[in-house]
Amino acid sequence: MKIDNTNLEKYSSAFTLSDMEIFVFPELMYSLFLANIMSPVVWSWRNADCFVKLAGKSPYKKLMRLKQFIMDEFEFNLDLQTWGLTNKNAELARFSKFISPDDISKSNALFGYHGDEYYFDIDIRRHFGLDKYDGDTLPYWKTETVEAMEAFKLKPGYSTGAGECVSLAAIYAAAAFVVCGIPIEDIYMVLTPLHSQNFIDIEEGVITNNRRLVTKSMWFNGTELSNKAQRAIRNEQVTIVANNTGFVHCFYDEATFDKNIYQKFTQKLGDFLSSPLDITAMASFLRGNPDYQKYFQFCRDCHGNAQFIKAETLFHYENQSRFRIADVTHEKLLAEAGEEDFSSTQYPGRIRCDQFKELVKTKHPDIKTEQGRKIFTDFFAGYIPDSVKLVDSIFEFLNIEPKLPAVEKEYIAIEPLKISADMSREEIVKYLSGIREKNITADLAFYAFRDMASCDWQPFIKAAIERSPVSIEATKDMTIAQVFDWLAAMPNVSIYDNNRPDSTGSPRVAQPDEVANYKTGDGIEKAFTLANIIHHRTPSEPLEIKIIGKSVILQAKEKFQFESIKQFQKNVIIVDE
């Protein structure tokens, strides 16, 4: 299908998938999810020993095992060198006809957004390593396909794959569907200006966070890991929510998400983000707020006699133990504490946690209600100087109100995606191909998938020539002849050919910066990389790439020959517009 000029920017963005591109074109996030679902790499994970052993087990059990698999296979990567740099003015100008610069500034931290004060307390530019550049310099932060994530193994210093938060969210969602068998309807992608997570509607709910999974009990356990997992949803405006019916965006009046399903999602997420105050929640609060530990003590029975231990002492033991306060392992943790840490008399001026537990059991106070808050405030008042502040802090800890896109939108019905984990990969690809004309997200998925046998080449060319700073930077001190030699010396294997260099390659084609990063590429990919570099140096020089089966010729002032196994017949003209 030929892409018109109106949609060219969006479709070309499916190849580069920068954070800003996904923000402006919200269909792109789900298109990458679908591209990863179509990937043979993700389907091969089904055959990993750890998942074969779980055959017949529940999707939830497989999902819990997926966390360790992702942890083993990928590391978190957010360096600036991987995908290069751009600048603020260029990005604002590029997207100005789609969204106003003011709205971008209100939503993106690097353009002035102040939703998450954490980043501004530490200086966001220093946090991301941008302080050594001028104030307008921005990272591209392109989101990787699963193949590009795995290809990090080819880079010096990496023993596994890698990816940034959006890449990890996309691969988690795809693997949850393909490997764990979780229905696509139960997977929701949730994006904020600085982060990307998934909410998976299974059991009490699960949220993905970079390489980790967070269950509801983990979400409220008060540890540093749970605090980090909460930070985006607790502090930031959620910009995009997407599922198989469509998306809703904080700035766009139109939404394609099914309204009834979106309302159900907001309720389910709200339930996940709220917890009653009981002894377990109280212990979690104290774990995350150690300044209050000095007001509490724990009690145990010893041969019919009560013994007491200071809360801060027991938390110290917890830090070195696999057992936890106020859960099923509580008694085992008490047994690990030294006898010298217990007192036969209770500590004056400290709240007994067993008495707090009894209060909750007998009076059932609800911290969400005014009456419940008063009961808790009165209970704490005899021990803590400002019991109102404490109860307010506990309430805030246990109740997060996400800043979601408004429910009131102009909802536009589109063809929902109806795929099942019972389908084969080939059946899913065939289904998605069949609805491309009805569903733009499905159509964009083939562009994110790099399937150049079924896609218009113009968006690929635009992305390659306009948004490949890494290949330009890597070769800035080389002559064109040296660049050609550099490319020729690389293995002639695309990261998208899935180890099939001995036969016909896949129709998937890498972008120049993927070639430059991983130092490998099919002849077509190398030709586009060289064309990008020549075009950057001499924009007025006409370039032509002729692909005839195995032969790839880049005609510039000189002729450069490469070899491909992808079996395309294509003639590409690149001229300065």
Mean pLDDT over residues 223-232, rounded? Answer: 92
Identify the pLDDT of residue 325: 97
Q: What is the pLDDT of residue 125?
A: 65
Which tokens in the block code for residue 18? 């920068």
Q: What is the pLDDT of residues 268-316, one digit of tens each?
A: 999 999 999 999 999 999 999 999 999 999 999 887 899 999 999 999 9
CA distance readout (Å), 249 to 11, 145, 167, 227, 242:
19, 23, 19, 25, 9
The pLDDT value recorded for residue 139 is: 83
- DSSP label of 53: T
Categorize the per-residue pLDDT at 553 as very low, low, confident or very high, splitting at 50, 70 and 90: very high
Q: 382 exposed, middle or buried (CB, 10 Å; 0-12, 13-18, 19+)?
A: exposed
In this predicted structure, the answer to whether residue 569 has a pLDDT above a threshold of 80 is yes
pTM metric for this prediction? 0.94
pLDDT of residue 127: 65
| pLDDT band at residue 501 under the 50/70/90 scheme | very low
Tens-digit pLDDT profile for residues 2-44: 788 889 999 999 999 998 899 999 999 999 999 999 999 999 9
pLDDT at position 5 is 80
Strand arrangement, sheet containing 296-302? 305-310, 296-302, 351-352
395-451: per-residue pLDDT in tens?
Answer: 999 999 999 999 999 999 998 999 999 999 999 999 999 999 999 999 999 999 999
With left for phi above 0 and alpha for psi between -120 and 50, is residue 234 left, alpha or beta?
alpha
545: β partners? 554, 572
Q: Is the pLDDT of residue 503 over 60?
A: no
Question: What pLDDT sits at residue 100?
Answer: 86
pLDDT at residue 504 in the model: 66
When pLDDT is averaged across residues 89-93 and rounded to a whole number, the result is 88
| Rounded-to-integer distance, Cα 308 and Cα 161, Å | 49
d(CA 306, CA 23): 58
Q: Give the pLDDT confidence score for residue 121 in this predicted structure.
A: 53
pLDDT band at 111 (very low <50, low <70, confident <90, very high): low
pLDDT band at 137 (very low <50, low <70, confident <90, very high): confident
Given this model, what pLDDT does residue 112 score? Answer: 55
Q: Answer with the residue of higher pLDDT: 377 or 78.
A: 377
Number of H helices, E strands in the chain: 28, 17
Given pLDDT bands bounded at 50, 70 and 90, which one contains residue 550? Answer: very high
Distance CA 463, CA 144 (A): 14
Give pLDDT, residue 30. Answer: 98
Angle, helices 279-288 vs 387-398, to 10°: value is 100
Nearest to 20 by CA among 75, 98, 78: 98
pLDDT computed for residue 89 by the predictor: 86
Q: Is 89 exposed, middle or buried (0-12, 13-18, 19+ CB in 10 A)?
A: exposed
Residues in the chain: 577
